[in-house]
Amino acid sequence: MVTRPFKTVLISLFTLMLFSAVTVQAAADKEPIWPSLKTAHFGDKEIRENADDLLVLEAPKRAEDAAIVPITIKSLVPQSADKFIKNIHVVIDNNPMPYSANFRLSPELGTVDISTRMRIDEYTYVRAIAEMNDGSLHMVSRFVKASGGCSAPAGKDAAAALARLGKMQIRMRQPTVGEPVQAQVIVSHPNYSGLQYDQKNRKYIPAHFVDDIDISYNDKTLIKVESGISLSEDPSVRFTFTPAEHGKLKAVIHDSKEQEFSMEKDI
């Protein structure tokens, strides 16, 4: 016979499980928002779904920190002058600004292997849509459990963030001409979303975010990122490229207050 206290525990556990299932289902039920987003950003263009033969999207099923969710996008087909991905559109369905970033890519990039960190505001589908040079669209998606990322407090206080604003790093191992090398561009920037609340001053912090990252080699653009409030604090872009000759890797960062920062690295 099941005792009354144990019955109470069972009922509580069942209620908790049911609530969790309803929460996940409620988020999944928001999937119909995608058709309206598709129309708004891509019109009546056909998008091939489940394009796992072309693109890989890596994202955690459940984020440890919704304000810095790691996202990696890889192509299974190398870039070439005849066939290349010219844009990768990132859409986070249930974010306040769903169209979250566009990575404009050069065929000179060679390998498409790009990582960044995003904010996710609630349980949602994250989508990567590859736009080929022939105009065709191919999509992969992942469902990510995370919440509160767009309104989460900044990791640094306002004074510390202002003191380090625009400081940049270009990280990479010793490159060899003609061989692929991984590089990472990082800029210190609070990337305020406009949804974060300053408890001390009792008001929302105005939006101030990086909206453009231009990474070039010998004055030829490799990656140009057009972004919004979904990019995390201290934006970072990690990528792979193959330097064909000695030269200069350069990153130029532009933000919503018309501030610009840049850094160069000789190879």
CA distances from 148 to 97, 122, 235 (A): 14, 6, 18
Q: Which helix (H) or strand (E) holds 23?
A: helix 4-28
Report the 10 Å Cβ neighbour count for 159: 8
**Do you know the residue count of the chain?**
267
The owner of tokens 């990086």 is 210
SS3 at position 101: strand
pTM: 0.86
What pLDDT score was predicted for residue 202? 86
- Each residue's pLDDT tens digit, 165-213: 999 999 998 889 999 999 999 999 999 999 998 887 789 999 999 999 9
Alpha helices in the chain (DSSP H): 4-28, 33-42, 158-164
Least confident among 3-17, 74-88, 162-176, 193-207: 3-17
Q: What percent of the chain has pLDDT over 90?
A: 75
CA distances from 116 to 38, 236, 237 (A): 23, 6, 5
- Each residue's pLDDT tens digit, 96-138: 999 999 999 999 888 899 999 999 999 999 999 999 999 999 9
Report the amino acid identity of residue 50. Answer: N
SS3 at position 141: strand
Report the amino acid identity of residue 215. Answer: I
Cα pseudo-dihedral 121, 127, 128, 131, rounded to 10: -120
> The tokens of 201 are what?
């001053």
Highest mean pLDDT among 26-30, 154-158, 221-225: 221-225
